[in-house]
Structure 1
Amino acid sequence: MKTLPAEWYPQSALMLTWPHPDTDWCDQLDAVEAVYVEMVCALCRYQPALILCPDTAWQARVAGMLADAGVPSSQLIFALARSNDTWTRDHGPITVLETQGLGAPGQPCLLDFRFNGWGGKYASELDDAINARLQEQGVFGNSTWQRSELLLEGGAIDSDGAGSLLLVRRTLLDPARNPGWSQDDIEQELHQRLGIRHFLWLEHGQLSGDDTDGHIDTLARFIDQRTIAHVTCDDPADPDHDPIAQMTAELRALRDSSGQPYRLLPLPQPRPLFAADGQRLPAGYANFALINGALLLPVYQDPADAEATRLLQAAFPQRQVHAIDCRALVAQGGSLHCACMQLPAGLTIRAPQV
């Protein structure tokens, strides 16, 4: 039996692909690296970080920055992999737990789905090869690996850890991503690979400036197996109002695997943020990341930051909420959750064997 753990499941580490000059961050490196340093400082109070760098020189530079920031080297694991971009959520491995019998501990299996730059919008050949590179280096020891021909970005799915999956239809049923795959084909593959039994497909929901075509991790997230937190937009004049209102209606209509409606936790909306060219940016609070004992929350120096912090702290009373200023990160169209991938407990993670 396979299970895709919820993000609140215990973790071995959090994986990050560090920004470097050969990415779109080349003109904003100082600002975005400051965000990554802040993330790692908070993260490493609770668990290790697996950090991917393009070469040994950049690794040494990053290690020095983190040492200067007071991060213990014992909490850092570095690996080498060239990348087109740094959105680890979408090119990193997705890990399931496989159990052989009742009561048996789940054994991790890493899944390498295809990635093509969100439907061919951006170069992606290096990103798509990252997981194979990590496997070659022995970063995850003798853990089982499987490759799927389905194109699946980690930000496109959210699991309750009990066989239910929340996802937006157009991010998978997309001829630029999965030509020739029907919904039945995709559900069969996700059942076989991830153990999913209950599919919660959404038709609506989009933040302006989001070029992923509506990743669920920007819109709605499981808080527990009965509760979904989601973005809101109260201004009827805002172009995001109608798609988000339609999504909220869909969320109200969803039923869990036992036929019960979900509790919904509406999150506030920050004021619109804009890039230098006037493009609106997809800032929101649903793009939080759960780690052991804490929640990393993207904030935007906005009055709504405090309310989002209060709501999520109340939703996760056993975790400490760490607010991370993500204005620099959202400048390239993603936020905190997009930049990382959790690695569940049970994985052995070690420095590369090269």
Structure 2
Amino acid sequence: MTYHMPAEWTPHERTWMAWPGPNPTFSSAAELAEAREAWATVARAVRRFEPVTMVHGPGQADTARELLGPDVELVERELDDAWMRDIGPTFVVDEEGRLAAVDWVFNGWGAQEWANWEHDAKIASHVADLAGVPVHGSLLVNEGGGLHVDGEGTVLLTETVQLGPERNPGWSREEVEAEIHARLGTTKAIWLKRGLTADYPPHGYGTLGHVDIVAAFAAPGVVVAHVQPDPAHPDHEPCRENIAFLRTQTDAKGRPLEVVEVPAPTKLRSEEGGWADYSYINHYLCNDGVVLCAFDDPRDEEAAEIFGGLFPDRTVTLVDARPIFAGGGGIHCITQQQPRTR
């Protein structure tokens, strides 16, 4: 049986999310409250276009319902954190249109010292069960934010994630590619060298280089890529190198990649004072919509225009993502699509 992961712009059955609870990522009551408001705003923005199911921890239902409103489905399961893109399953479809779920090994983004993952390591199988689909287990340590597909055989990856010693020591590049291709139905991997500076220690919570904050497919043969225009920021040169590299690449169909540059916000520092990894690339495509990160920045509207041009038939919704980035991710990191198969 051959499965493939559909591109994010194909129709969805629903979106899965996970509700923030008390944990090291949200270390104070104020931070947790701010995170919940942000997660709820994203959920409501997505709900305008498709159903949303929010997984919450024990005793969290009342708070979740109060902020989410009546239109978001709630499901209780034990949780450690709230990043459904990474802890949830990667949904795939076979030739007959039947849905299944890939359950990667989750080890807290490379067993980082601040992370807990006893419960989150089981969420992918819980979500698959709730969706009523079979689970395909993988031995690869991986997360949904560490990959991006075009639905036509190409996958974007970063070397510091799947090839890093924190996740898959002893795996060769060829072995990692073979496993990813077998699970996602891809045939060509395009490897970026690394992610953004603030995604690595000692800059706080991070993933060690997830690709979905750096580059993403917007259509077959078209990639949106993060640009840091200011040479004072340490991401300036790595972004320049990423874009130059992407422009030398072809996809699985042999098409040269068209790279659409998306400038970073003008803010060089985050609300917490460190280097910002604020990025518009970490957006989410839902049915007829684009939910786009905003940062109360002059470039928010510029980014909205770029994405509006790429997706002219979708409504672009800007959501303040600064509280989400404070926890180590963005809008794409907290959402996971379930493809529509009928």
Equivalents in 2 of 1:130, 1:337: separation in Å? Answer: 17
SS in 1 for 2:292: strand
SS in 1 for 2:247: helix
Query: Residues 27-42 of structure 1: matches in 2 within 5 Å?
Result: 27=28, 28-42=31-45
Identify the residue that residue 17 of structure 1 maps to in structure 2.
Answer: 18
Cα shift at 1:188: 1.4
Equivalents in 2 of 1:77, 1:205: separation in Å? Answer: 34
Out of 206, 212, 218, the position equivalent to 2:213 is 218
Out of 120, 136, 139, the position equivalent to 1:127 is 120
Whether the 8 Å CA contact 2:262–2:281 is kept in 1: the answer is yes
Identify the residue that residue 336 of structure 1 maps to in structure 2.
Answer: 331
The residue type paired with residue 7 of structure 2 is A
Whether the 8 Å CA contact 2:199–2:209 is kept in 1: the answer is no
Identify the residue that residue 203 of structure 2 maps to in structure 1.
Answer: none
Identify the residue that residue 89 of structure 2 maps to in structure 1.
Answer: 93
1:332-351 superposed Cα distances (whole Å, 9 cap, x missing partner): 1211111111111139xxxx
Whether the 8 Å CA contact 2:195–2:214 is kept in 1: the answer is yes
Equivalents in 2 of 1:11, 1:133: separation in Å? Answer: 19
SS in 2 for 1:47: coil
Equivalents in 2 of 1:241, 1:22: separation in Å? Answer: 33
Q: 1:207 to 1:297 in 2, by over 3 A?
A: farther
Whether the 8 Å CA contact 1:208–1:280 is kept in 2: the answer is yes
Matched, 1:179 2:175: no
Q: 1:29 to 1:204 in 2, by over 3 A?
A: closer
Identify the residue that residue 51 of structure 2 maps to in structure 1.
Answer: 48
The residue type paired with residue 79 of structure 1 is V
RMSD (CA atoms): 1.6
SS in 1 for 2:232: coil
Whether the 8 Å CA contact 2:199–2:207 is kept in 1: the answer is no
1:192-221 superposed Cα distances (whole Å, 9 cap, x missing partner): 211111111122442434521221100001
Whether the 8 Å CA contact 1:171–1:213 is kept in 2: the answer is yes
Identify the residue that residue 140 of structure 1 maps to in structure 2.
Answer: 131
Identify the residue that residue 196 of structure 2 maps to in structure 1.
Answer: 206
Out of 222, 232, 235, the position equivalent to 1:237 is 232
Cα shift at 1:26: 4.4
Identify the residue that residue 269 of structure 2 maps to in structure 1.
Answer: 273
Q: 1:260 to 1:134 in 2, by over 3 A?
A: closer
Equivalents in 2 of 1:35, 1:203: separation in Å? Answer: 31
The residue type paired with residue 12 of structure 1 is E
Equivalents in 1 of 2:127, 2:285: separation in Å? Answer: 23
Cα shift at 1:275: 4.2
Equivalents in 2 of 1:24, 1:213: separation in Å? Answer: 16
Identify the residue that residue 117 of structure 1 maps to in structure 2.
Answer: 108
1:9-41 superposed Cα distances (whole Å, 9 cap, x missing partner): 111111111011235224212211111221122
Identify the residue that residue 60 of structure 1 maps to in structure 2.
Answer: 62
SS in 2 for 1:139: helix
Using the size of structure 2 for normalisation, the TM-score is: 0.92
Identify the residue that residue 352 of structure 1 maps to in structure 2.
Answer: none
5+ residue gaps, structure 1: 68-72, 100-104, 348-354
Out of 189, 197, 200, the position equivalent to 2:187 is 197
Q: Aligned pairs, how many?
A: 331
Using the size of structure 1 for normalisation, the TM-score is: 0.89
Equivalents in 1 of 2:325, 2:37: separation in Å? Answer: 13
Matched, 1:156 2:151: no
Q: 1:257 to 1:146 in 2, by over 3 A?
A: closer
5+ residue gaps, structure 2: 201-205
Equivalents in 2 of 1:254, 1:87: separation in Å? Answer: 30
Deviates more, 1:107-116 or 1:16-25: 16-25
The residue type paired with residue 130 of structure 2 is V
- Percent of counterpart pairs with the same letter? 31
Equivalents in 1 of 2:199, 2:140: separation in Å? Answer: 26
Q: 1:236 to 1:66 in 2, by over 3 A?
A: closer
The residue type paired with residue 128 of structure 1 is A
Equivalents in 1 of 2:35, 2:110: separation in Å? Answer: 25
